[in-house]
């Protein structure tokens, strides 16, 4: 029997639908590229902290539909079923359905309007293992090897979105920066 939406699903997801911080969980090609880029940065003296690699598809499903239902952006019956996630979004009463979804939004710590006006995505590159969130830090200037072996001198910027030389080094390894999301790099820059 399906379990109604609510905080039960936060606990469930934290056991059964976790995100990974392990590079080895990435898509094969992207993983190889990330490892090469990371090695070049570390060889140059940078420090890398990874916050997310592959995102669980089930977790993304729970994020997306709890956000939309709680915010009244769709009807509880609009959420499709997902194999392996036996959730009932429709409590048979719109206020109760929204309250159940909101318990999940709060439990997951999702940003809602006005902080975020977009539902968490169902199609992030993270879900396919083709994106990584990482914070790269160093002091002053370092010389980082590009894939062709040539060195680039890279100055530290507190906001990685503005560091075009660092982006170019990543590009050489086919690890591309999304310039609106500070820790986010992917196979296509999205
Ligand atoms: Zn990301």
Number of other CB atoms surrounding residue 17 within 10 Å: 19
The per-residue pLDDT of the chain, averaged, comes to: 96
Question: Using CA of residue 178, residue 182, residue 184, residue 187, what is the dihedral sign?
Answer: positive
Q: What is the mean pLDDT of residues 61-85?
A: 97
Q: How far is the CA of 133 from the centre of ligand 1 (A)?
A: 5
Is the pLDDT at 165 greater than 90, yes or no?
Answer: yes
Cα 185 to chain centroid distance, Å, stands at 10
For 180, the domain range is: 21-54+126-186
User: Does any domain span residue 34?
Assistant: yes
Separation of 19 CA from ligand 1 center, angstroms?
A: 11
CB of 56 closer than 8 Å to CB of 17: yes
Q: What is the pLDDT of residue 180?
A: 87
Identify residues whose C-beta is under 5 A from ligand 1, the ion. Answer: 133, 184
Residue 119 in any domain: the answer is: no
Total domain count, the chain: 1
Residue range 1-9: average pLDDT? Answer: 96
Q: Is the pLDDT of residue 142 over 90?
A: yes
Rounded Cα gap, residues 55 and 116, in angstroms: 20
- Domain contains 102: no
Phi-psi label, residue 112: left if phi above 0, alpha if psi -120 to 50, beta otherwise: beta
Residue 113 resides in a domain: no
Per-residue pLDDT averaged across 88-108, rounded?
98
pLDDT given for residue 181 in this prediction: 87
Q: Calculate how far, in angstroms, residue 190's C-alpha sits from the geometric centre of ligand 1.
A: 9
């Amino acid at each position: 029997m399906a379990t109604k939406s609510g905080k039960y699903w936060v606990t469930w997801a934290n056991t059964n639908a976790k995100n990974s911080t392990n590079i080895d969980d990435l898509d094969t090609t992207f993983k190889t590229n990330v490892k090469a880029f990371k090695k070049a940065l570390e060889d140059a003296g940078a420090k890398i902290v990874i916050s997310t690699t592959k995102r669980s598809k089930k977790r993304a499903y729970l994020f997306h539909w709890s956000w939309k239902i709680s915010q009244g952006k769709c009807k509880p019956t609009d959420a499709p079923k997902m194999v392996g996630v036996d959730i009932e979004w429709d409590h048979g009463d719109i206020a109760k359905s929204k309250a159940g979804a909101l318990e999940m939004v709060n439990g997951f710590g999702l940003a809602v309007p006005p902080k975020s006006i977009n539902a968490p995505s169902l199609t992030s590159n993270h879900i396919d293992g083709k994106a990584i969130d990482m914070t790269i830090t160093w002091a002053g200037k370092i010389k980082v090897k590009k894939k062709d072996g040539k060195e680039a001198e890279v100055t530290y910027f507190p906001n990685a979105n503005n560091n075009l030389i660092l982006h170019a080094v990543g590009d050489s390894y086919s690890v591309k920066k999304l310039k609106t999301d500070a820790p986010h790099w992917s196979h296509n820059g999205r």
